[in-house]
Chains A and B, each alone.
Chain A
Amino acid sequence: MNVMTPEGYVAADGRRIGPVLMEMKNITLRFGGVKAITDISFEIREGEIRAIIGPNGAGKSSMLNVISGFYVPQEGEVWFRGAKRPPMKPYQVARQGIARTFQNIALFDGMSVLDNIMTGRLTLMRSGLLSQAIWWGGAEKEETAHREKVEKIIDFLEIQNIRKTPVGRLPYGLKKRVELARALAAEPKLLLLDEPMAGMNVEEKEDMCRFILDVNDEFGTTIALIEHDMGVVMDLSDRVVVMDYGKKIGDGTPDEVRSNPDVINAYLGVAHE
């Protein structure tokens, strides 16, 4: 990594990374007496691919849930696009331009692939109940305009042939892809991916990596992802946050993190005298 300035830095592959998009300041999250996250601070910059890694139970998913507004931390502040975020409901956070996928797929099984992806655009659709009931005119026009955008995403993720299939019938790898499509349909500023490659075979993983890189490259979407496959994390991400037992034990480029003694301890254990 080159020199870090407030305006950003130049990533290892030469991409220009912008200023801070989201900043977590001293976040602490407790469930009763259990501290899931202890005093963690880090930032995500525009255009960056930021990974959060750590052993099981380290608090990675809790961190993602804090970002997406599902958990409200007891202490600390969340800053998004230069402003402190007041306490918000998850659907309000979604409207700010944060979309996510889930560790165990959370698609709407009763709906077709197309409808699932269209739900991703809910936050961008405006027509009211009455105009939708009448359909002709406003609602139909809006629907068609959004359908065009969705079709671009369908082309992009190469799922044209399953467009009308009910999601419940799809295999696991495709479901993950549809979920990514749904998140992309919202045209998010920040895309959160919770273990996008869990349970996939090598080929599916490679596809998914390609899509993540393409999304970042073509749409300029900032991406924060949690992943267990170290090879994937080190190849994809610009910077990595390492968590263990709810604390941050490392933060930096993949190379820095790899040589951090605390990180090595957490992952490999340390010899006791």
Chain B
Amino acid sequence: MFYREAGDFKTRYVDDSQTFPIRFDRWRYYAVLAVAFGIVPFLINDYWANAVFVPFLIYSIAAIGLNILTGYCGQVSLGTGGFMAVGAYACYKLMTAFPEVSILIHVLLAGGVTALVGVLFGLPSLRIKGFYLAVATLAAQFFLVWLFNKVPWFYNYSASGQINAPERTIFGQAVTGAATTPAAKYLFCLVILFALAWLARNLTRGTIGRKWMAIRDMDIAAEIIGVNPLTTKLSAFAVSSFFIGVAGALFFAVYLGAAEVGEAFGIQKSFLVLFMVIIGGLGSIFGSFAGAAFLVLMPVLLKNLLVGTLGWPTDLAAHIELMIVGGLIVLFLIVEPHGLAQLWRLAKEKLRLWPFPH
């Protein structure tokens, strides 16, 4: 009954184009923010941080990044894992080379480095489209993983070939390294996610977002009405790679602490993030969150259900869990090909009229 546009008159275009035009939506959004910033940090423990919240936040950043490229600009990419690796290794090199500089700056710079690499691998998109572009980005994925494996400079010649995040602090609180509290990890990722999601929303609702969508929907018409395909596609690659690079840096520095490139950033990472974007909904910021939540939470839920409640052996549960998640993905794509975001949109349209049928 509260979910209504009626009676909420907009008298300025600014009000009309805001992110949550319906008052109820706005309250809900503030409530989520209040819980996320004000309540969760005080309740969070190691298990919740490592199994649920931190991976959810980091994958959300990566999914928003890939959604900008694939969902908004229509350029399919299978190089997400490789670009996350670029972010992680750039962050590692910066952390070890300039230990006195804030980790926050390192993470953002790592995103910047990834943006440059992304633009480089985005160049073929000017000539090739669709599946062929996907194969070209797949080449980026394999090349980057190979590069970080083969060139010892990237992992500072360590004997194991691994990279390890040294301890870094913000306001005296450790956010990387073994001594980090779960709340610090969570808050660090949350602040970055909040800022980046806000930037993504601004970009996608403005001129540049419309250019991306124009290229996605009909590239020839877009060019004829004045969209430069070169700069538009490359800007999508740059922004997308920036997000993915930041996600990679956080994944290594905050979440894993130590990483080996083939294991942490292999092809399965590319597919995982792509699944998140497709299941969540292409071309939707909310969809990126929903997809990340679905694919991070679902295995945890299933594991708790199968092992914790039903008492099945761990290895059997692990296999069944994979099958169920896979089955759910297929089921989802059949039932709602436009993803969770579309379900959400339909629910909202129904809610606006509820409880009346018309």
Residues of B within 8 A of A107 (CB): 217-218, 221
Q: Do A129 and B202 touch across chains, with their CB atoms under 8 A apart?
A: no
Chain A's closest residue to B283 (CB) is: A110
Q: Which residues of chain B are near A91, meaning CB under 8 Å?
A: 223-229
In chain A, positions 122-175 with a C-beta closer than 8 Å to chain B are: 122-123, 125, 127, 129, 132-135, 139-140, 142-144, 147-148, 151
In the complex, residue of chain B having the shortest beta-carbon distance to the beta carbon of A69? B224
Q: Complex: how many Å from CA A183 to CA B239? A: 29
Chain A min CB distance to B163 (Å): 30
Contact (Cβ within 8 A) B13 A99:
no
- A147 CA / B210 CA spacing, docked (Å): 14
CA distance A70 to B225 in the complex (A): 11
A132 touches which one: B202, B222, B226 (CB < 8 A)? Answer: B202
Label chain B's interface by main secondary structure.
helix
B233 close to A (CB within 8 Å): no
A119 touches B223 (CB 8 A): no
Pair A122/B224 contact, Cβ less than 8 Å: no
Partner of B206, one of A132, A183, A186: A132
A106-B218, A108-B217, A140-B14 as given contacts; A94 in contact with B206, CB under 8 Å: no
B220 interface residue (CB < 8 Å to A): yes
Set A90, A100, A127: member contacting B207, Cβ < 8 A: A127
User: Given that A110-B216, A139-B206 are contacting pairs, would A147 and B224 also be in contact in the complex, using a CB cutoff of 8 Å?
Assistant: no
Kindly state the separation between the CA atoms of A186 and B221 in the bound complex, as whole angstroms: 14
Whether B214 is near chain A, meaning CB under 8 Å from some CB there, is yes
**Beta-carbon contact of A118 and B210 below 8 Å:** yes
Q: How many interface residues does B have (CB within 8 Å)? A: 30
In the complex where A106-B218, A108-B218, A110-B213 touch, is A122 in contact with B13 (Cβ < 8 A)? no
Task: Give the distance to chain B from A168, nearest Cβ to Cβ, in Å.
Answer: 9
Decide if A19 is an interface residue (CB 8 Å cutoff). Answer: no
Are B217 and A68 interface neighbours, CB within 8 A? no
Range, interface on chain A: 35 or more
A109 to B85, CA, bound (A): 35
Contact of A133 among B12, B202, B227 (CB under 8 A): B202
Are A148 and B203 in touch, CB under 8 angstroms?
no
Which A residues touch B283, using CB under 8 A? 110
- Within B221-269, the residues touching A (CB, 8 Å) are 221-229, 235, 239
Complex Cα distance, B283 from A68, in Å, reads: 30
Distance of A99 Cα from B223 Cα, bound (Å): 11
B196-211 interface with A by 8 A CB criterion: 199, 202-203, 206-208, 210-211
Contacts A91-B224, A108-B221; is A143 near B216 (CB within 8 Å)? no
Contact call B226/A94, Cβ cutoff below 8 A: yes
Q: Please give, as numbers and ranges, the residues of chain A lying within 8 Å of B228 by CB-CB distance.
A: 89, 91
Q: A119-B210, A127-B207 are in contact. Are A134 and B221 (CB under 8 A)?
A: no
The answer to whether A102 and B221 have CB atoms under 8 Å apart is: yes
For the complex, what is the distance from the CA of A135 to the CA of B203, rounded to whole Å? Answer: 8
Whole-angstrom CA separation of A118 from B228 in the bound complex: 16
Question: Measured between alpha carbons, how far is A209 from B229 in the docked complex, in Å?
Answer: 33
Contacts of A122 in B (CB 8 A): 207, 210-211, 214, 225-227
Q: Which residues from chain A contact B214 at a C-beta distance below 8 Å?
A: 108, 111, 119, 122
Given A68-B224, A91-B227, A132–B17 Cβ distance below 8 Å?
Answer: no
Structural contact, B227 and A143, CB atoms closer than 8 A: no
With both beta carbons as reference points, the residue of chain B lying nearest to A163 in the complex is identified as B16
Residues of A within 8 A of B213 (CB): 108, 110-111, 115
Task: Indicate if the CB atoms of B210 and A186 lie closer than 8 Å.
Answer: no
Least distance between A48 CB and chain B CB atoms (Å): 22
Q: A140-B14, A182-B225 are in contact. Are A133 and B207 (CB under 8 A)?
A: no
Q: Cβ of A147 and Cβ of B13 under 8 Å apart? A: yes
Are A90 and B224 in contact, with the CB atoms below 8 A?
yes
Across-interface contacts of A95 in B (CB, < 8 A):
226
Nearest-neighbour CB distance to chain A for B231, whole angstroms, equals 10
Given B207, B208, B221, B239, which contacts A106 in the complex, CB threshold below 8 Å? Answer: B221
Report yes or no: A111 in contact with B226, Cβ–Cβ below 8 A: no
A133 touching B203 in the complex, CB below 8 Å, given contacts A106-B220, A111-B217: yes
Within 8 A of A (CB), among B177-191: none
The CA of A102 and the CA of B224, in the complex, are separated in Å by: 10
User: Which of chain A's residues have a CB closer than 8 A to the CB of B227?
Assistant: 91, 119, 122
Complex CA gap A122/B210 in Å reads 9
Q: Is the CB of A129 within 8 A of B208?
A: yes
Q: In the docked arrangement, what's the CA distance between A69 and B203, Å? A: 29
A147 pairs with B202, CB closer than 8 A? no
A62 to chain B, nearest CB (A): 14
| Cα of A35 to Cα of B235 in the assembled complex, Å | 39
Of A93, A108, A144, most buried by chain B (CB within 10 Å of CB) is A108
Give Cα A107 to B224, complex, Å. Answer: 12
Contact with A89, one of B216, B221, B223, B225 (Cβ below 8 angstroms)? B223
Decide if B17 touches A135 in the complex (CB within 8 Å): no
| Alpha-carbon gap, A132 to B200, bound state (A) | 10
Q: Which residues of B contact A (CB under 8 A)?
A: 12-14, 17, 199, 202-203, 206-208, 210-211, 213-214, 216-218, 220-229, 235, 239, 283
9 of the cross-chain contacts (CB-CB < 8 Å) are: A70-B224, A90-B224, A91-B225, A94-B225, A106-B220, A108-B218, A143-B13, A144-B13, A186-B225
- Residues of A at under 8 Å CB distance from B? 68-70, 89-91, 93-95, 99-100, 102, 106-111, 115, 118-120, 122-123, 125, 127, 129, 132-135, 139-140, 142-144, 147-148, 151, 182-183, 186
Given contacts A91-B227, A134-B199, A140-B14, 17 further A-B contacts (CB under 8 A): A70-B220, A91-B225, A93-B224, A95-B226, A102-B221, A108-B214, A108-B216, A109-B217, A111-B210, A122-B227, A123-B225, A129-B203, A139-B206, A142-B207, A143-B17, A143-B206, A151-B13
